[in-house]
Chain A
Amino acid sequence: METTVTDLVLILASTVRLSVPLIFTALAGLYAERSGVFDIGLEGKMLFSAFAAASMAAVVAQSPTFGPYAAWLGLAAAIATSILLSLLHGYASITQRGNQIISGVAINFIASGLTIQLGNAWFGQGGRTPQLPNSARFTELTLPFADALRPVPIIGPIYANLISGHNILVYIAFLAVPFTWWVLYRTRFGLRLRAVGENPGAVDTAGISVTWLRYRALICGGILGGFAGTYLSIAQSASFIREMSAGKGFIALAALVFAKWRPVPVLFTCLLFGFLDAVAIRLQGTSIPGIGEVPVQFIQALPYVLTVILLAGFIGHATPPKAGGVPYVKER
């Protein structure tokens, strides 16, 4: 009993850790796509901002004045980078009315190539950034009483290992979900953002700039993308590694579709996909009684398979924002 609880708590804690980058990135995509701009470039934003965070933290880590704030400066650099990529995407797909998907693909390539190239030129470690000391990272926080409560059965391990013991970005991720819900459904900006994704013509008629609104949505996405990258490189690990986003941006995209472009379901879908990832890591090479060895690849492919099945309309129906992917042309 005791070990099962501990085991379960460990898997769930790992689920939480693995789902954080998905939550940030899927929410980033949510702002963009609800405003009518498809964002395939999520992966690239995550990767590039991970690089920016790790580079900035590595550069300032030893400085006496900035050293103590290295992690936060890393986060700022990551957010700035991610916003720049968002603006590039916006310039191509809103201002120049280019193909949003092609623009996203371009951003992914650019991020993939430029991070390794710059990392190699700056740090000379084949695309890696230098290993960071803990003072330059977001490290685990211990919530009050975590150690005192640990011996208590069931509640103890849950509080000490599942709720406590994460870095601050994890808590920000979980707060970002209700915040996004509030922005989207309870503010004027959110109402307009949803409207511009469904019927930009109506928004334009109301005298609101479609262009500026979509740019702002992309900037929101950029900020969240920066958090996702920061989490990867200076919270979950201690340096940037080439291609470290490893398709997480696309899993987040799948989660966004799976959640039908709504913030609260995004949270649960990301937790589900994170859980599958945690289970896949956990089951590597072990065999379950009665089933035998479950191929890890099967569990890894499950998020994508589930998303395709959902898209096919076999479990509910995922309707994307109506104006998604279509550049807005003002009537002449």
Chain B
Amino acid sequence: MSAPYGQLPRWVEFGLLPLVNVVVAFLVSGLVVLFIGVSPLEAVGYLISGALGSGEGLGFTLFYATSFMFTGLAVAVAFHAGLFNIGGEGQVYVGGLGAALAALALDRYAPWFVTVPAACIGAFAFGAAWAFIPAWLQAKRGSHIVITTIMFNFIAAALMVYLLVNVMKQPGTMSPQTRLFDTGAAIPRLGWLMQLFGMKLGTAPLNLMFLVALVAALLVWVLIWRTRFGYEIRTMGTSRTAATYAGIPYVRTVVITMLISGGLAGLMAVNVVLGDHGKLQIEFPSGAGFVGIAVALMGRSHPAGIVIAAILFGILYQGGAELAFWVPNISREMIILIQGLVVLFAGALENMFRPALVRLFARRPQAAHKAA
């Protein structure tokens, strides 16, 4: 796509352009805030102090960020193969089933360092399994993966409601949720990490999965840019015909990529189900699967970018809750609007400012070339 527009220096291409896009998204959000009669600066003040002003706020911010890292990585891995996995929400939901089954089976007999890895494996496997059918249908039968993953979100929701209402509900209770997990399924919280910085975690559910998410980001980077399979993924994402010509098997690549993508989404469930709720309950993903789309786009599908974008969205979610609490005219759903604007400007309109930037910067690399 960049060819007709001219070459940009790398720092503009991967730094300035995405930054401009995101800043515009926030400026438009600011206009909406202004429009409903609240000072945007005041709003930002509440947002920042709510998200970062206390150890507890920061703990919630990073807890949300953990979830978004997983779902963002899930979307990004699929993006690299040219696949759009909109099904993160469903994969998280079903992943929660895998995590909960492991926790329910082990929590009374095993310590956390047995239960939690088992839950991770369960969540990854179930999330991957939920992505498998759309992947297989895309690879083998040519069904558009966007449509099938959307359908699978709704099928997952129906399935999980059925299971929680009719099968997994604790007998004698009304609410559709499993029993509370025992101490054997409690993930250690990261109070010590916050103490290093002289802050108290309080009730924030920031837990070990935060570090797991960072490791997952690193592993995704290794997978995409340092392995043979990652090269095959990127080749297929750039040009399917070229990949086929190079002997890269289409079906295998699509299916494995989607298994990894679905598995990463599934892992997010461990953070919420074991790390926070301590039980499996209805609608626990609450849109985090979709936030992954915004995070992946904003982070340009690069793990480093995704970690930053996930933390930013963590700030928005935690700070937004505080903001909605203090300013009655602003509701929590403001975040969904900002999310939409980020997807719009960093995703669909990503090249809107490119011509302007090309006019500003396009000569530079040639000059540098001559100098070298």
Contact = CB atoms under 8 A, between A and B. Distances in A.
Interface stretch (A183-191, A201-209, A306-314): A306-314
A257 B145 CA distance: 13
A89 B141 CA distance: 29
A308 B147 CA distance: 8
A98 B151 contact: no
Contacts of A38: 146
A257 B351 CA distance: 30
Interface in A281-311: 295, 297-298, 300-301, 304-305, 307-308, 311
B341 to A, nearest CB: 7
A103 interface: yes
A253 B147 contact: yes
Interface residues of A, number: 50
A320 B142 CA distance: 11
Contacts of B351: 96-98
A109 interface: yes
A108 B297 CA distance: 16
B32 interface: yes
Interface string B297-321: 1000000000000000000000000
B338 interface: yes
Nearest to B338: A113
Contacts of A312: 137, 141, 143
A313 B141 contact: yes
Interface string B323-334: 000000111011
A116 interface: yes
A121 B36 contact: yes
Nearest to B334: A117
B193 interface: no
B333 A112 contact: yes
A102 B297 contact: yes
A301 B154 contact: yes
B25 to A, nearest CB: 10
Contact of B339 (A92, A93, A109, A320): A109
Contacts of B1: 97
Given A92-B349, A96-B349, A101 B84 contact: yes
B338 A297 contact: no
Q: Chain B CB within 10 Å — which of A102, A111, A126 has the most?
A: A102
A297 B333 contact: no
B349 A308 contact: no
Nearest to A127: B331
Nearest to A92: B348
A253 B336 contact: no
Interface in A116-154: 116-118, 120-121, 126-127
A14 to B, nearest CB: 20
Interface stretch (B47-55, B156-164, B223-231): B156-164
A103 B147 contact: no
Contacts of A320: 144
A40 B137 contact: no
A250 B152 CA distance: 11
A289 to B, nearest CB: 20
Given A308-B151, A312-B141, A117 B331 contact: yes
A105 B344 CA distance: 8
Given A96-B349, A120-B331, A308-B143, A105 B293 contact: yes
Q: In the complex, which range does the number of interface residues on chain B fall in?
A: 35 or more
Contacts of A99: 84, 347-348
A247 interface: yes
Contacts of A109: 290, 294, 336-337, 339-340, 343
Interface string B104-145: 000000000000000000000000000001000100011110
B166 interface: yes
Contacts of A120: 329-331
A288 to B, nearest CB: 16
A114 interface: yes
A315 B61 CA distance: 47
Interface centre among B37, B147, B152, B165 (most CB of A within 10 A): B147
Contacts of A92: 344, 348-349
A166 to B, nearest CB: 27
A6 to B, nearest CB: 30
Residue among A108, A127, A300, A301 having the largest count of chain B Cβ atoms under 10 Å: A301
A79 interface: no
B338 A295 contact: no
A257 B293 CA distance: 23
Contacts of A106: 340-341, 343-344, 347-348
Contact of A113 (B158, B340, B350): B340
Given A117-B333, A304-B155, A320-B144, A102 B343 contact: yes
- Which residue, A38, A40, A297, has most C-beta atoms of chain B within 10 A? A297
- The 4 lowest CB-CB distance pairs between A and B, nearest first, are A109-B340, A113-B337, A113-B336, A103-B348
6 contacts: A105-B290, A105-B293, A106-B347, A113-B338, A121-B37, A308-B133
